[in-house]
Amino acid sequence: MDFRGSHIISVTQFDRAAIERVFDVADSMQPFARRERRTNALDGAILGNMFFEPSTRTRFSFGCAFNLLGGYVRETSDIKTSSISKGESLYDTARVVSGYSDIIVMRHPQAGSVEEFSRASRVPVINGGDGPNEHPSQALLDLYTIKKELNANNRKIDGMRIAMVGDLKHGRTVHSLSQLLLLFTHITFTLISPAELKMPENIVAELRAAGHSVIETDDMEKGLNDNDTVYLTRIQEERFSSRLEADIYRGRFKLNQEIYTRNCAPNTVIMHPLPRDSREEANELDNDLNLHPNLAIFRQTDNGVVVRMALFALILDVVDLVETRASEVKWYTAGRFDN
Ligand code: NCD
């Protein structure tokens, strides 16, 4: 895969060599993300960060990743204050914003919208989530996290067992992660969801055709047995016709210390794309696991920065420049990355 100047719209663009390349570059970004060194490889470049759906970590981490490479960030974060609310087409917005920016990250509630936008854009576009469809950078950071967590005790992605829990119908992160895992071998997927919120049939069929085992169940406690990773998701309330409809499913599956200890193998890694819904009636991932060593959710968010730095560096072709334009960090840096 040639990253230079390319749009990142779907995980189906990747092969294993491309994933390895992203992960190697992400590793080389660690000292910069950890504030041990700094670089101005993207000095003068502008990221157009266009978020037409709620976001905290995706928007922020893309912005920080670009800043850490020395670039500037401009952003729109509200559909109501953007010209899209005046009836402007994606085509026009893309033509305009791509004249102002060197690269664009876009999130939009409609499936397929980011691809449509990218066709009109004059600069590379990264999909920051298009409705329930895809979230490729999240899948890459999830896989990078899984790899690191499993490698820590000599396990691998090939042959692993992963449980995905929650709203598998609407969750774009599990759609993208599953499709990325098509490139690996002999994975056992245990898909735990209410019958109405199952993983789309086409994805399940693709997983089976790739030689993976897929078990679908609504029995969470049984499904949690014997996994390397448990990946929890939030009920995607914004994809339902009403809050009331989402309430039917909210709180159906909850992982806490007691359920984890009773059902999960000792080294099971706990992941969640975040935000977790911590309201009492939902609480899919309880705070009583916050200090558990296998809770990887904040390592996952930290990994999001280096993976996004890698994507920018590869697409804008500055991987080598990062090193030559590096210098030392002069400000006080606390030990926030120590664990
Ligand atoms: C996810 C998303 O927006 O799809 N969040 C994220 O980007 N980390 C998951 C979610 O909102 O539940």
DSSP codes of every residue in 244-298: HHHHHHTTSS-B-HHHHHHHS-TT-EEE--S----STTT-SB-GGGTT-TTB-HH
CA 173 to ligand 1 center in whole angstroms: 7
Which atom of ligand 1 is least distant from the CA of 172?
Answer: 4
Q: What is the pLDDT of residue 204?
A: 98
Classify burial at 28, counting beta carbons within 10 Å of its beta carbon; exposed 0-12, middle 13-18, buried 19 or more: middle
pLDDT in tens, 171-224: 999 999 999 999 999 999 999 999 999 999 999 999 999 999 999 999 999 999
What are the domain boundaries of the chain? 11-134+301-328, 136-298
CA 306 to ligand 1 center in whole angstroms: 18
Kindly report the protein residue whose alpha carbon is nearest to atom 1 of ligand 1: 273
Q: Would you say the CB of residue 129 lies under 6 angstroms from ligand 1?
A: yes
pLDDT in tens, 225-238: 999 999 999 999 99
pLDDT in tens, 285-337: 999 999 999 999 999 999 999 999 999 999 999 999 999 999 999 888 877 77
pLDDT of 83 above 80: no
pLDDT of 82 above 80: no
Which atom of ligand 1 is least distant from the CA of 171?
Answer: 4
CA dist 138 and 308 (Å) reads 9
Q: Would you say the CB of residue 58 lies under 6 angstroms from ligand 1?
A: yes
If you average pLDDT over every residue of the chain, what do you get? Answer: 96
CA 326 to ligand 1 center in whole angstroms: 32
pLDDT in tens, 21-40: 999 999 999 999 999 999 99
CA dist 140 and 146 (Å) reads 10
Taking Cα atoms as reference points, which of 237, 236, 188, 240 lies closest to residue 216? 188
CA 332 to ligand 1 center in whole angstroms: 32
Kindly report the protein residue whose alpha carbon is nearest to atom 12 of ligand 1: 234
Q: Would you say the CB of residue 161 lies under 6 angstroms from ligand 1?
A: no
Q: What is the pLDDT of residue 102?
A: 98
- Tokens at 269, concatenated: 């890694």
Q: Would you say the CB of residue 94 lies under 6 angstroms from ligand 1?
A: no
Q: Would you say the CB of residue 131 lies under 6 angstroms from ligand 1?
A: no
Taking Cα atoms as reference points, which of 150, 199, 149, 155 lies closest to residue 177? 199
Q: What is the pLDDT of residue 261?
A: 97
11-134+301-328 CATH fold: Rossmann fold (3.40.50)
DSSP codes of every residue in 49-62: EEESS--SHHHHHH
Give the confidence band of 152 by pLDDT, cuts at 50, 70, 90.
very high
Q: What is the pLDDT of residue 84?
A: 74
Kindly report the protein residue whose alpha carbon is nearest to atom 7 of ligand 1: 58
Q: Would you say the CB of residue 300 lies under 6 angstroms from ligand 1?
A: no
Q: What is the mean pLDDT of residues 243-250?
A: 95
Q: What is the mean pLDDT of residues 135-144?
A: 98
CA 273 to ligand 1 center in whole angstroms: 6
Q: What is the mean pLDDT of residues 56-83?
A: 91
Q: Would you say the CB of residue 132 lies under 6 angstroms from ligand 1?
A: no
Q: Would you say the CB of residue 273 lies under 6 angstroms from ligand 1?
A: yes
Say what the pTM is.
0.97
Q: Which residue out of 135, 145, 231, 240 has the highest number of ligand 1 atoms within 8 Å of its CB and is therefore the one to mutate?
A: 135
Taking Cα atoms as reference points, which of 262, 1, 21, 297 lies closest to residue 140? 21
Q: Tokens 């055709």 sit at which residue?
A: 209
Give the confidence band of 339 by pLDDT, cuts at 50, 70, 90.
low
- Tokens at 53, concatenated: 């759906």
Q: Please give the share of the chain, as a percent, with pLDDT higher than 70.
A: 99
CATH 3.40.50.300, applies to 136-298: no
Would the CATH topology of 11-134+301-328 be identical to that of 136-298?
A: yes
CA 105 to ligand 1 center in whole angstroms: 15
Q: Please give the share of the chain, as a percent, with pLDDT higher than 90.
A: 93
